[in-house]
Structure 1
Amino acid sequence: MNRIKKKAAALVAQRPYHAVAVSALLLALTSSSGFLVTERAAGDSAEMSPASVEFAPTGPAFPEGAAGAAPEGSGPADPDLSPSTEPQPAESEPAAPQPTEPQPTEEAPAEEAPAEPEPAPAPPAAMTVDYQYQVQNNYYYCGPAATRIALTARGANPSQDAVASKLGTTVFGTNSAHETTRVLNEMAGTDFYQTRSIPGPRATPAQMDQLQADVVHAVTNGYAVVANIAGTLTDVDGGWHSYDGGHYVTIVGYADEGRRVQIADPANAGVSSYWMTTIDMANWIATRGYSA
């Protein structure tokens, strides 16, 4: 406000005729600042000296009772609406998350392991199939006769001629164990039989063990074994058996857990069966094979 005073005094001194205008300006300026310009000069002269301009406080700019005005010295009309001078508490910071202990989870019940199948009962130490013996009809029917003996253990009772026709037997005999395997499965209505070969001149220990296992498996399931053999051997009782040109016999039983085998020989009319060690039997089959 001092700057305004000084400027107004300067204008009056330089331009006396501008006093009226300056007065109006100062009145307009001071009406909002709370000051009033007064004249000290005597008389009605419009001239104003710089010293004659004063500013006096005039009180509130708004008339008493005007909208938005409050009586002098009165407090706020509504304490709830007045700005608070008390410091407001700062908003509390969110508490840091507390570590939570892992909650124990219920373990899923362990799946029960499938029950292991009970082991098959051990085969008996000795066993013989129920079979019907028959001597071969002629010298080259050993194949059909041995195959027929094996079929009777399965309840079939064909003629030797019928079996010979299936085998393709001629005066030269029956070709191989592959033929007996095929006819045994066909005429017994099964797929149980398969052909085992012992191609060397002597059976290996593995082939001897395989023969023992095959005989036990077949006989305990009610099947007889047909073997194509060649050569000369002596049975456990000292009997001599020689078939250098080849022959077919039927294994119808075993003893001593398969270490000995029972032979039904269609060419031996005097003795329907005899026993041989499984080792000797495997060597008798060497260079040929069997159906089991």
Structure 2
Amino acid sequence: MNKLLPTVFLLSGTASVLNAADGVSPSPYKLTEVFGLPLTNTIVTTWAISILLIVVVRLSVGTPKLIPGKGQAVIESLIDGLRGLLEPIVGKKAFPMTFPLLIGLFLFILIHNWSGLIPGVGVFGHVEHGHLTYWMRPANSDLNATLGMALVAMLAWLVISLKVAGPKFFIWELFGNKADKQETPKAVYMMLIPIFMMVGLIEIVSIAFRPVSLSFRLFGNVFGGENLLTSMTGMAPYIVPIPFYFYEVLVGVVQALIFTLLVAIYIGLMTNHDEEHAH
């Protein structure tokens, strides 16, 4: 008999009973290999949900019209709402190149936060040694996925900041003496230079830890939510878990918004300055 039991389709209650005792695995399950690279259940979910999102948006919007249909109106309302929220943060000059990144992050994180609530995710799979190895798992419950997004976001922050603010202002913002040279006594002004240099070094360390804080915050909330739903469904498969599903819907929105707003704030700290100040 093969080490793996025959592939089975399990109902949600059965799946939860198998996994409720040990909770959700901190790392994704390796399903197979493609070109020598591991294919995990979080990668499968990422591909499936992303393709579904693209198809739904394309079918909803179709060819943009002057008088929008229902699908186009929903997408436009979402874009207008995010535009009104994000433009004052990043500034008008940086907004055109920043908005595609931010709305992409928000939608991607939101949909994948909610993907664990879709029937079939974390349910279907095969049983190995009495443990369910399920085929699909929310992407953001994998630290690799959240860290990858955080690194991409910070790389975009660096490129946008340098392009909009310029290298000279970028370096001054980190290490420059912020005291007014005209109103500050020269001796005091010179004494402040090494202090601001030290502050700049501390800021560099803070920037280096931004991907860590962004990724662990998102991963921790989504992974914790998956464990919560697994435990509640394992104890009582019906009725009792329903409030927790609504709670996870709210957490998914909040976490997507927090991640997006933090990236916007990081960019805005470098780009949202008036021309006189930047000069």
More helix by share: 2
Could you say which TM-score interval applies, normalised by the shorter chain? under 0.3
Structure 2 length normalisation: TM-score?
0.22
Structure number with larger C-alpha Rg: 1
The structure with higher relative contact order (CA 8 Å, sep 6+) is 2
Structure 1 length normalisation: TM-score?
0.21
